[in-house]
Structure 1
Amino acid sequence: MGENTPVLIGAGQFTYRGDPAASPSPTALLKIAAERAALDAGIGPAGLAGVDALAVVGYTIDSPGSKRGMIPHSVNPPASLARQIGADPRWSVYSEMGGNTPQYLINTLCERIARGEADLALTVGCEFLGSAMKRLGKGLSFDDWIADEPEDLPAPQRIGDPRAGSTAYEIRHGLSRPINIYPIFENALRARDGRSIPEHQRRMGELFARFSEVAVDNPEAWFPTRRTAEELVTVSEKNRMIGFPYPKLLNAIMEVDQSAGVIIASERKARELGVPEDRWVYLHGCADAADLWHPLDRQDFHSSPAMRRTGQKAFAMAGIGLEQVDLIDLYSCFPVAVEIGAEELGLSLDDPRGLTVTGGLPYAGGPGNNYVMHSVAVMLQKLRARPGAYGLITGNGWYLTKQSTGIYSTKRPDKPFEREDPAVLQREIDALPHPEIVERPSGRGTIETYTVVHKREGPFLGIVVGRDEAGRRFAANTPDDPGFLAAFEAQEQVGRTGTVRQADDGQTNLFVPD
């Protein structure tokens, strides 16, 4: 064990609940979280000037295809933050999109520290859509957000996979947003297990009711409200259906104002800064990989080889088993992410250890790509209170696509930090077989999975993923008659046969059930 062993020394969070007209700018949110992390480490805000590696989690407004470009923000968030905290990092990056990103950045920074390429690192992120969308809706100015932002900054160095989450073919059929795509996984999982729709709705409600109970005790939670299982799944005026089978209360909420950051140091630097060892938390195991990139390429819609294999790699690196883990936080944008994540890791949904330390994205808050930074911050506090215990955290990006896993403990590792090159695992996953895709199917077909997407006024879009008679996979839409769509989501559709052809628009496919 060398003096370059990486150790997490501080973490900070911030949730803004005030007047949107006075809300902090994105850079201010980052700074607040960074300063709180510095105070937590005992180095004070002035200690941030020594940061020599800085990684900022990408804002959702910078995601491919985002229509929120009218929201002013820094053209180079890492550079803007560095100026605010008085740092001049040798390595500074801004991430691509994905809810796995905070864990991925922590894995990367720990590796850089272990290699001697950095001594004091900061990774931080925020989301500000809560106040930003209110400002837009009320016609309020953003001048205070950009008053101190330099206009002459170069574009930031990016880190991560920049590919969009969906193909043009998928996008034409509505498979372009999390609220449209995660439901197709959920419905496939329900059908695989042979549960009725009411039974499965109850199961999802019971799962996320337990998450809401954790959020109640989280002082930084966006919705610290205890919800019953029935309340979560019962469709009402305040809990309208979004994408079947998910009412609003089962969806991650991105319109929040939250930030979180983590400070990582080498053991040598932590001692030099005088950080007490009872504040130290080590990353014992980690792994990163992505499933076959686009939804239609997946082997099926009820599993995640990347979740399973990143978990296996992280446990192998840590040298422990799942039974030795005391605290768990599974990524929870929608119920199916938890359900599949638990299954791939060997957990039951009612594991007595619980599956979240924060309350999850729908209740603690779904701050874009930065949720996992909040779960790491909470995990650090809980592990410090239980010296020697282990904590497991998973992060998930795009559509059960990008996966990152971390295993933490205050216990000092008994071997050097050695992260396996993610490309090794990625080659294994990329080599897995997957169905052939046909973009212009014609003739008989069978529904593999599906969803019905709703507006406030009711259902308006039916999406089908099916197989033709040759076993090739296709995407299609259904007739858009509201009565048809209401009936379509009222009964199980997986396995139903019908006819698929080109729609009248010449761009999409139309599936008409028998």
Structure 2
Amino acid sequence: MSRSLRGSAAIVGIGNTKRWNAPGRSPFDQLQEAAILALEDCGLGLKDVDGLFCAISSSGLPVLNVAERLGLSVRHADGTMVGGASFLFHLQSAVAALEHGLCDVALICYGSNQLSAGGRLVSMPDPQPYEAAYKPRFPISSYALAAARHMHEFGTTRENLADVALAARAWANLNPNAFAQGPLTREEVLSSRMVSDPITRADCCLVTDGGAALVVTRADWARDLAKPPAYILGTGVAVSHRQIAAMPDLTTTAAVESGRRAYAMAGIGPAEIDHVMVYDAFTITTLLFLEDLGFCPKGEGGAFISSGAIAPGGRLPVNTSGGGLSCNHPGMYGLFTIIEAVEQLRGACGERQIQGAEVALAHANGGVLSSQATAILGSAATL
């Protein structure tokens, strides 16, 4: 996206069902509720939506299903599917579509019943020929490879990874809507059942249900709606591989590129970010993305995390909702990074609120470190 799009659009409505265990509700039920909540949040209705962006892992034709379910007749639609980062890809597309008049009100939405449906990921239809013979545990074995390589190359320890989980739980304990709460010790993380060496069960995200949605419109419209807008200052996306065997470097993700593009559009750097949400499907992802997005040098993520920097009271508030590790993770988590960022910019986070937050960065990951997307949001003071 060009620098000229900085601040041209804003997120004006957010919807979060907060139904992390909802037997009997389908993915489309969760999505529909989230969409209505997002529209109510900004004072608009379904009749106002003329741009639709969605992806659901259990649906081959999500745009068609969602348009029918919500009764939408849209001028523009996008069903890009790159895993959990899809919705930040959608956000970038929505900004461009709004700027060029392809739509006026964009709805980005998602729903999942992964927990109540038995906790199973939908099987991936595309073959993985270089890996299938080894019978990996998808996707955990792929992330375990990245973690093991980072440990080998930089001396990162399991204790460093455990401290990611501890920080997430500390934030979750400040969030009344977090699915996992209560005390958690480093020893409990380290002694948790090994799933794929060096990743234990406690290094893995939750499995929950959930639904989320955003309403995005042009900045000139946003000022007249019900809630303070979160302006989209910069976005960037990148893809690098499908199979982990094809990843160019197991210790460096395409977040380097998505982040560079988002920072360039926003005209700021990591030092100017007040609040960070990164996709923590596993403890190693938080570490990798903090390095790749420039919050600490490559190889120093472990020491940075274990210093207490990302926990409550630390110098960089990260995953303040509790993240995918302790708040919620309904299969594809990307939209929830944006929702927490918007709430922080609105000053609506209660005990976990970051005082004076004006600029927030949300980052999402898809596949097996395969797709990366970064969004930088700001309050009105940043324009």
Same fold (TM over 0.5): yes
> Using a 3 Å threshold, how does the CA distance of structure 1 residues 19 and 292 change in structure 2: closer, same or farther?
closer
Query: Which residue is equivalent to 1:319?
Result: 267
Match of 1:260 among 212, 217, 220: 212
Query: Which residue is equivalent to 2:159?
Result: 202
Shift of 1:175: 4.1
Query: Which residue is equivalent to 2:104?
Result: 119
Query: Which residue is equivalent to 1:298?
Result: 247
Match of 1:344 among 265, 289, 292: 292
Query: Which residue is equivalent to 2:316?
Result: 353
Judging by fraction of residues, say which structure has more strand.
1
Q: Greater RCO between the two (CA within 8 Å, min separation 6)?
A: 2
Shift of 1:327: 0.3
Query: Which residue is equivalent to 2:81?
Result: 96
Query: 1:489-510, CA deviations, whole angstroms, 9 ceiling, x for partnerless residues?
Result: xxxxxxxxxxxxxxxxxxxxxx
- State whether structure 2 residue 91 is matched by structure 1 residue 106: yes
TM-score (norm 1): 0.64
The separation in 2 between residues aligned to 1:189 and 1:76, in whole angstroms, is 38
The separation in 2 between residues aligned to 1:32 and 1:131, in whole angstroms, is 17
The separation in 2 between residues aligned to 1:17 and 1:184, in whole angstroms, is 29
Match of 2:359 among 380, 390, 395: 390
Do the aligned residues in 1 keep the contact of 2:274 with 2:357 (CA within 8 Å)?
no
Do the aligned residues in 2 keep the contact of 1:212 with 1:227 (CA within 8 Å)?
yes
Shift of 1:224: 2.9
Query: Which residue is equivalent to 1:223?
Result: 180
Match of 1:275 among 205, 225, 230: 225
Match of 1:307 among 247, 255, 261: 255
Equivalent AA in structure 2 for residue 302 of structure 1: T
Shift of 1:246: 1.5
The separation in 2 between residues aligned to 1:174 and 1:412, in whole angstroms, is 52
Query: 1:142-201, CA deviations, whole angstroms, 9 ceiling, x for partnerless residues?
Result: xxxxxxxxxxxxxxxxxxxx994x631212213461111110111111111235xxxx12
Query: Which residue is equivalent to 2:351?
Result: none
Do the aligned residues in 1 keep the contact of 2:112 with 2:210 (CA within 8 Å)?
yes
Shift of 1:309: 1.9
Query: Which residue is equivalent to 1:56?
Result: 54
Do the aligned residues in 2 keep the contact of 1:10 with 1:279 (CA within 8 Å)?
no
Query: Which residue is equivalent to 1:367?
Result: 330
* Other structure's SS at 1:210 match: helix
> Using a 3 Å threshold, how does the CA distance of structure 1 residues 357 and 102 change in structure 2: closer, same or farther?
farther
The separation in 2 between residues aligned to 1:18 and 1:395, in whole angstroms, is 23
Query: 1:384-420, CA deviations, whole angstroms, 9 ceiling, x for partnerless residues?
Result: 2267710011111111111100100013765xxxxxx
Shift of 1:267: 3.0
Equivalent AA in structure 1 for residue 325 of structure 2: P
TM-score (norm 2): 0.85
Query: 1:100-121, CA deviations, whole angstroms, 9 ceiling, x for partnerless residues?
Result: 1111111111111011111001
Shift of 1:263: 0.3
Do the aligned residues in 1 keep the contact of 2:146 with 2:251 (CA within 8 Å)?
yes
The separation in 2 between residues aligned to 1:203 and 1:308, in whole angstroms, is 21
Do the aligned residues in 2 keep the contact of 1:220 with 1:364 (CA within 8 Å)?
yes
Query: Which residue is equivalent to 2:350?
Result: none
Match of 2:339 among 362, 374, 377: 377
* Other structure's SS at 2:79 match: strand
Do the aligned residues in 1 keep the contact of 2:80 with 2:86 (CA within 8 Å)?
yes
The separation in 1 between residues aligned to 2:40 and 2:356, in whole angstroms, is 21
* Other structure's SS at 1:28 match: helix
Shift of 1:14: 1.0
Do the aligned residues in 2 keep the contact of 1:27 with 1:81 (CA within 8 Å)?
yes
Query: 1:220-250, CA deviations, whole angstroms, 9 ceiling, x for partnerless residues?
Result: 3222334222212213xxxx22111122121
Do the aligned residues in 2 keep the contact of 1:58 with 1:95 (CA within 8 Å)?
no
Do the aligned residues in 1 keep the contact of 2:9 with 2:218 (CA within 8 Å)?
yes
Query: Which residue is equivalent to 1:34?
Result: 35
Equivalent AA in structure 1 for residue 16 of structure 2: Q
Match of 1:183 among 136, 139, 144: 144
> Using a 3 Å threshold, how does the CA distance of structure 1 residues 194 and 394 change in structure 2: closer, same or farther?
same
Shift of 1:18: 5.8
The separation in 1 between residues aligned to 2:256 and 2:248, in whole angstroms, is 14
* Other structure's SS at 2:17 match: strand
Which ranges in structure 2 are unaligned for 5 or more consecutive residues? 296-303, 310-314, 348-354
Do the aligned residues in 2 keep the contact of 1:282 with 1:412 (CA within 8 Å)?
no
Do the aligned residues in 1 keep the contact of 2:232 with 2:378 (CA within 8 Å)?
yes
Q: For structure 1, which segment, 339-348 or 380-389, has the greater mean C-alpha deviation from structure 2 after superposition?
A: 380-389
* Other structure's SS at 1:169 match: coil
Where in structure 2 are the equivalents of 1:77-156 lying within 5 Å? 77-133=62-118
Coordinate RMSD, CA, aligned: 2.5
